[in-house]
A = this chain, B = another copy of it.
Amino acid sequence: MRRTIPFAEVAQHNCAGDCWVVIHGRVYDLTEFLGVHPGGSEIILKYAGGDASAAFAGVHPPDIVAMLADNAFLGEVSGGDGRASLEPDSQENKKSVGSDFRVRKGDSTGEEVPATGPSIKKMLRLADFEEAAISRMPREALGYITSGANDEITLRENRVAWNRLWLRPRVLVDVTSVDASSRILGFKSSMPVYISATAVNGLAHPGGEVLVTRAAHAAGVIHMLPTLSSRTLEEMTAARHPDQVQFYQLYVSSDRQRAADMVRCAEVAGCKALFITVDVPVPGRRETDMRCKGVAATLAGTTVASSATFYDPKLSWADIAWFRSITTMPIVLKGIQAGEDAVQALHLGVDGIVVSNHGGRQLDGTRSTVQVLAEVMEALRSLPGRSKMEVFVDGGIRRGTDIFKALALGAKAVGIGRPVLYGLGAFGQDGVEQVLHLLGEELRTCMALMGTPTLADIKPNLIVSDHRRCYCADEDAYQQSKL
């Protein structure tokens, strides 16, 4: 039976063996939940006997408490510890947020807290947003967003590998009219770019995924909504413009009924495609984040066993047919890293795959996605039905020329992750829009200078890989000199 519980009573249940916490005015007994919390028990115990609303709101949608056992909810709290809970809703519903959201987090007198770091006018390239985010975002959020697995070899490789492909521009082509507009799974996009799902955008900005969706609409690109969102699915889809398209990213729960419910909810809420993450049977180990005691330490830095309720290590190729049976959305597998798996995906008739290594956050030592993309396209090249499956790629894309290279290799579109969070964290919705604007400008300039006014003009022979930096002329001469 639920009742009103004085805060003083809550305060007495403050240890691992007896752990109550207050979330948004409601009291929960999390003693049993401690052992299965995907983020580990430690983070919860910090709030044992206290109010965890603020910490909770930063990384969870409000409705996630539904996953608690029924008897965990004890009742409403009375009194409290005086800490105001975060109310992101009241803050994000005006677009004026813009330049620095932390102004709004200043004290109640309304005096402006001066924003630090460079202004949005100085953002000339995506890398600038990362730098701006360093001075404008909290250290913990940055640690979570920037970190990769272990030694971050793959994280770095993702980025630098794009530079190992070189461009071969063609001149004297009429490029008066450059058109980068594209179709992704049949849906119109202003360019071959979509916003990839990233977890808990609320870390970057209280408006979280809602602001990202609004920016996506402004830029004419598609937003892939994350399972691990800070805002509820309802909030995210409600923020959608009537003309706008959203996709849905799914972490498959080991509770398949729950997984089916999530898919159904996304489809009902109007999401147009289902991106199933296939590269997290267990979470990766992000030591950089763990070191700054950040989010990954709790969200993902758990051991193989304890996360089994949230990610499903049993997920296998055999499940694809089941997904097909529960939704009419196109199905895309996100996290392919080998040509063989791309071929298998094609055989099973999925609508698309994303060549991705989860932004270098899962298994360190895997190859750059651009390299895998080349392998995948080669593996698929001459297979029947090849054209029915679209291939996407994400990881390290920071320049319009990177997009061009991906398309030349055969990708249909590319996903953008961290830069969106840097834009969001540093400048709110305006930042996300500017990130997308710069990418579009750079891509169109690249297309003009490459002599390819339309996406259809982008062919593999316009790029050449690093090890082709040979000197053909002297090659023969060298051979001749040996005769």
Of B174, B282, B408, which contacts A314 at CB under 8 A?
Answer: B174
Chain B nearest CB, measured from A49 CB (Å): 24
Q: Is there a chain B Cβ closer than 8 Å to A166's Cβ?
A: yes
Assembly CA distance A314 to B171 (angstroms): 11
Q: Does A315 contact B (CB under 8 A)?
A: yes
Contact A409 B365 (CB under 8 A): no
Residues B338 and A170 in contact, CB atoms below 8 Å apart? yes
A122 to B297, CA, bound (A): 12
Known: A371-B469, A449-B362. A172 touches B317 (CB 8 A): yes
Q: Are A474 and B464 in contact (CB under 8 A)?
A: yes
CA distance A341 to B169 in the complex (A): 9
State which of A212-220, A229-237, A374-382 sits at the interface with chain B. A374-382
Is B367 within 8 A of A464, CB to CB? yes
Contact A173–B316 (Cβ < 8 Å): yes
A1 within 8 A of B: no
Instruction: Say whether B291 contacts A167, CB under 8 Å.
Output: no
Flag A319-342 by CB within 8 Å of B: 1 or 0 each: 110000000000001011111110
Contact bitstring A115-156, B, C-beta under 8 A = 1, else 0 = 000000010110000000000000000000000001101000
Whole-angstrom CA separation of A166 from B363 in the bound complex:
11
Min CB distance A191 to B, Å, is 14
Bound: A170/B314 CA distance, A:
14
Instruction: Give A283's nearest chain B residue, CB to CB.
Output: B445
CA distance A444 to B161 in the complex (A): 28
Report the separation of the CA atoms of residues A446 and B363 in the bound assembly, to the nearest whole angstrom. Answer: 7
**For residue A370, which residue of chain B has the nearest CB?**
B471
CA distance A184 to B247 in the complex (A): 50
| Chain B residues in 8 Å Cβ range of A175 | 281-282, 313
Q: Is A364 in contact with chain B by the CB < 8 A criterion? A: yes
Known: A173-B316, A409-B471, A410-B473. A461 touches B481 (CB 8 A): yes
Interface assignment of A83: CB less than 8 Å from any CB of chain B: no
Please indicate the chain B residues that have their CB under 8 angstroms from the CB of A291 in the complex.
122, 124
Q: Which residue of B lies closest to A169 (CB)?
A: B337
Do B464 and A467 touch (CB < 8 A)? Answer: no
Cα distance A470–B381 in the bound complex, in angstroms: 16
Contacts of A373 in B (CB 8 A): 473
A477 touches B461 (CB 8 A): yes
Q: Complex Cα distance A227/B356, Å?
A: 47
In chain A, positions 271-306 with a C-beta closer than 8 Å to chain B are: 278-279, 281-282, 284-285, 287, 290-291, 303-304
Indicate if the CB atoms of A363 and B304 lie closer than 8 Å: no
The residue in chain B whose Cβ has the minimal distance to the Cβ of A153 is B163
In the complex, whether A347 has a CB less than 8 A from a CB of chain B is no
Which one of B171, B308, B409 contacts A337 once the chains associate, using CB atoms below 8 Å?
B171
The SS class assigned to the A binding surface is mixed
Q: How many angstroms between the C-alpha atoms of A368 and B466 in the bound complex?
A: 11
Interface residue A459 (Cβ < 8 Å from any Cβ of B): yes
Residues of B within 8 A of A176 (CB): 308, 313-314
Q: Are B465 and A474 in contact (CB under 8 A)?
A: yes
Question: Which of B399, B444, B460 is A304 in contact with, Cβ under 8 Å?
Answer: B444
Is A76 at the interface (CB under 8 A from chain B)? no
Could you give, for residues 361-397 of chain A, a 1 whenever the CB lies within 8 Å of some chain B CB and a 0 otherwise?
A: 0111111101101110111010000000000000000
Instruction: Tell me whether A92 is interfacial, beta carbon within 8 Å.
Output: no
A186 nearest CB across to chain B (Å) = 24
Given A167-B367, A279-B449, A477-B460: A124 in contact with B290 (beta carbons within 8 A): yes
Decide yes or no whether A204 CB sits under 8 A from chain B. Answer: no
**Cβ–Cβ < 8 Å partners of A449 in chain B:** 279, 281-282, 284, 362-363
Contact B374 A471 (CB under 8 A): yes
A462 to B164, CA, bound (A): 23
Which of B167, B279, B474, B480 is in CB contact (< 8 Å) with A165?
B474
A94 CB-CB contact with B under 8 Å: no
Top 9 closest A-B pairs, CB basis? A460-B477, A461-B481, A378-B472, A374-B471, A465-B471, A363-B449, A377-B473, A171-B278, A461-B477
Told that A371-B470, A375-B472 touch, could you supply 15 new A-B pairs with CB distance under 8 A?
A122-B291, A163-B365, A164-B469, A175-B313, A279-B449, A282-B448, A304-B441, A340-B481, A367-B464, A371-B469, A409-B474, A459-B477, A460-B476, A461-B477, A465-B475
Cβ contacts A to B, 11 pairs, < 8 Å = A124-B287, A166-B365, A166-B367, A169-B279, A171-B279, A174-B314, A178-B304, A304-B445, A374-B474, A464-B474, A467-B467
